[in-house]
C-alpha cells in the first residue's frame, strides 16, 4: 500500500507540473494579448467544441510539432544534438522531487507525504540539479555546428554561473534562521507565529533576500528580461537548429523552469503549503477561537494554498516577461556581479549580526 501511495504522489506532482506548464503556454498568448490590447489566440477548435479562450491552441501546437520534420545539421553531432533537449527537460523535471507540495498527513492509518523524495539536504539537491540542466543548453549549441547557436549556449552558461552564485548566497540568510537545508522542515518552521499572530515567513525575515532570490530565479528561467541565451530577435538562440519535438522539449524546459522558480520562491519565502493559523487539527486563531477540521480538509487546504501561491508567482513572472525589455549582455553581467552578489553578501552579514544580538 505504501508503494501505491508513493506512486500516486509521484503522479500528482507530475500531473500538477504538466498542468501548470499547459496553462503557462496558454498564458504566454492570452496574458500578453490582454496587456497589449489584443484578442490573442481564439481560433483553434477541437471536434467542434468551443475555443475556450484559446486553450485548444496548445493541442494544435503539439500536433504541429509532432508532425514537423526532425532536422539535424549535416555537420552537427547527431548523438549530442538528439540528447541535449532530453538532458534539459530531464533535469528540469526531477528538480521537483524534493519540493514539498504539502505536509505529512495521517489518513486512514497511512502516512501521506506530498514530497516525492525527502532529503535533509533538499535545497542543495535543487541547486545541483539546476546546475546540471545547463549542459543540455550548452551541448545543443555546440552540437548544432552553428556559431550563433554556440554563442547562445555560451551565454546560457555565463548567465547560469553569474546568477546561481547569487541564489546560493541569498538563501544562506534563511538557513541561518531556520537551521536546516530540508525544504519540508523550512516549511514547518514558517508555520511558527511571532507574537502569537505573525507567521514567520521567509519574506518577512529576509525581505532583501526575497528580492535578490526572485530576481536571480527569474534569470535562471532565461525569460525576458533575462533571455540573452535565446535572444530570438538576434537569432542567437541555442535552439535555432532544432525543430519538431526536440524544439518542444526546450520550450517545455523553459516553462517548467518558470514553475520551479515559482515553487522555490513559495517554499522558501511564502510559507510553502502553510496557511496562517491552520494546524494539523484546524484553525487556531490569535484571539483564542478554534475551528476544528478533518485531516482530509486540512490537506486539501494546504496543498491548494501551495498551488495557488505557485500560480500567483507564475502569473507575476509572465507579467514581468511582457513588461520589461531585454537587458544587454554587459548590463546582465553588471547586475549580477556588481550589484546583486555584493548585496547578498551584505544580507548574510546583517543576518548574522542580528542573530548574534538577539541571542546576546
DSSP code string of 53-88: GGTTHHHHHHHHHHHS-----TTS-HHHHHHHHHHH
Confidence category of residue 9, pLDDT binned at 50, 70, 90: very high
In a domain, 7, yes or no: no
Quote the CA–CA distance of 296 and 123 in Å, as a whole number. 28
23-30, Cβ contacts within 8 angstroms, sequence gap of 24 or more: 23/311, 23/314, 24/255, 24/258, 24/259, 24/314, 24/318, 25/58, 25/61, 25/255, 26/53, 26/54, 26/55, 26/57, 26/58, 27/314, 27/315, 27/318, 28/255, 28/318, 29/54, 29/57, 30/54
Structural domain contains residue 216: yes
| pTM: predicted TM-score of the whole model, two decimal places | 0.95
User: Above 60 in pLDDT, residue 4?
Assistant: yes
Whether residue 299 lies inside any domain: the answer is yes
Angle between helices 57-67 and 2-35 (to 10 degrees): 100
Question: In the prediction, which pLDDT does 194 show?
Answer: 87
Cα(212)–Cα(210) distance, rounded to whole angstroms?
Answer: 5
Confirm if 135 and 237 have CB atoms less than 8 A apart: no
Which residues share a beta bridge with 40? Answer: none
Residues in the chain: 360
Q: Do residues 239 and 250 lie in contact, with contact meaning Cβ atoms separated by under 8 Å? A: yes
- State whether residue 49 is helix, strand or coil: strand
38 domain residue, yes or no: no
Residues 91, 95: Cα–Cα separation, whole Å:
6
**Can you give the residue range of the structural domain that contains 193?**
72-104+117-359
Confidence of residue 143 (pLDDT cuts 50, 70, 90): very high
Domain annotation covers residue 99: yes
Backbone torsions φ then ψ of 310, nearest 5 degrees: -60, -45
* 100 in any annotated domain: yes
Residue 51's pLDDT band, with cuts at 50, 70 and 90, is confident
CB 186 within 8 A of CB 272: yes
- Report the alpha-carbon distance of residue 99 to residue 122 in Å, rounded: 8
What is the radius of gyration, based on Cα positions, of the chain? 22
What per-residue confidence (pLDDT) applies to 42?
86
Of the candidates 217, 218, 213, 221, the one whose C-alpha atom is nearest the C-alpha of residue 347 is 213
Alpha-helix residue ranges (DSSP H) falling in the chain = 2-35, 57-67, 78-94, 122-143, 147-178, 183-189, 202-205, 207-220, 244-269, 295-321, 329-334, 341-359
* pLDDT value of position 1: 56
Residue 58 covered by a domain: no
How many structural domains does the chain have? 1
Average pLDDT, rounded, for the chain: 92
80 in a structural domain: yes
pLDDT (tens digit, 9 = 90+) per residue, 281-330? 999 998 889 999 999 999 999 999 999 999 999 999 999 999 998 898 89
Q: How far apart are CA 205 and CA 343, in angstroms?
A: 16
pLDDT tens-place string over residues 214-270: 999 999 998 889 999 988 777 778 999 999 999 999 999 999 999 999 999 999 999
> What are the tens digits of pLDDT across the range 161-174?
999 999 999 999 99
Report d(CA 243, CA 247) in Å as an integer.
Answer: 5
Amino acid at each position: 500500500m505504501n508503494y501505491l501511495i508513493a506512486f500516486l504522489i509521484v503522479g500528482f506532482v507530475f500531473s500538477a507540473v504538466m498542468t501548470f506548464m499547459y496553462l503557462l503556454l496558454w498564458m504566454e498568448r492570452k496574458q500578453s494579448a490582454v496587456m497589449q490590447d489584443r484578442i490573442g489566440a481564439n481560433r483553434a477548435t477541437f471536434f467542434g467544441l468551443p475555443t475556450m479562450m484559446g486553450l485548444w491552441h496548445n493541442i494544435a501546437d503539439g500536433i504541429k510539432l509532432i508532425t514537423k520534420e526532425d532536422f539535424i545539421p549535416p555537420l552537427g553531432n547527431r548523438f549530442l544534438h538528439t540528447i541535449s533537449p532530453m538532458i534539459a527537460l530531464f533535469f528540469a523535471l526531477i528538480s521537483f522531487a524534493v519540493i514539498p507540495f504539502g505536509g505529512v498527513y495521517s489518513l486512514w492509518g497511512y502516512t501521506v507525504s506530498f514530497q516525492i523524495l525527502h532529503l535533509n539536504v533538499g535545497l542543495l539537491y535543487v541547486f545541483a540539479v539546476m546546475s546540471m540542466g545547463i549542459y543540455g543548453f550548452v551541448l545543443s549549441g555546440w552540437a548544432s555546428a552553428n556559431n550563433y547557436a554556440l554563442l547562445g549556449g555560451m551565454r546560457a552558461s555565463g548567465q547560469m554561473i553569474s546568477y546561481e552564485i547569487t541564489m546560493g548566497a541569498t538563501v544562506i540568510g534563511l538557513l541561518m534562521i531556520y537551521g536546516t537545508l530540508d525544504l519540508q522542515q523550512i516549511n514547518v518552521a514558517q508555520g511558527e507565529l511571532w507574537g502569537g499572530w505573525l507567521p514567520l515567513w521567509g519574506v518577512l525575515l529576509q525581505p532583501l533576500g526575497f528580492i535578490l532570490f526572485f530576481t536571480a530565479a527569474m534569470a535562471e528561467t532565461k525569460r525576458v528580461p533575462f533571455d540573452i541565451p535565446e535572444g530570438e530577435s538576434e537569432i542567437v538562440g541555442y535552439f535555432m537548429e532544432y525543430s519538431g519535438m526536440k524544439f518542444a522539449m526546450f520550450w517545455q524546459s523553459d516553462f517548467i523552469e518558470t514553475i520551479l522558480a515559482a515553487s522555490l520562491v513559495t517554499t522558501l519565502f511564502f510559507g510553502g503549503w502553510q496557511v496562517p493559523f491552520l494546524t494539523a487539527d484546524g484553525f487556531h486563531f490569535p484571539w483564542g477561537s478554534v475551528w476544528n477540521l478533518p485531516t482530509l480538509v486540512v490537506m486539501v487546504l494546504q496543498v491548494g494554498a501551495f498551488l495557488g501561491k505557485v500560480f500567483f508567482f507564475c502569473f507575476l513572472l509572465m507579467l514581468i516577461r511582457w513588461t520589461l525589455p531585454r537587458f544587454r549582455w554587459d548590463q546582465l553581467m553588471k547586475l549580477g556581479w556588481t550589484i546583486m552578489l555584493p548585496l547578498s553578501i551584505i544580507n548574510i552579514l546583517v543576518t548574522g549580526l542580528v542573530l548574534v544580538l538577539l541571542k546576546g
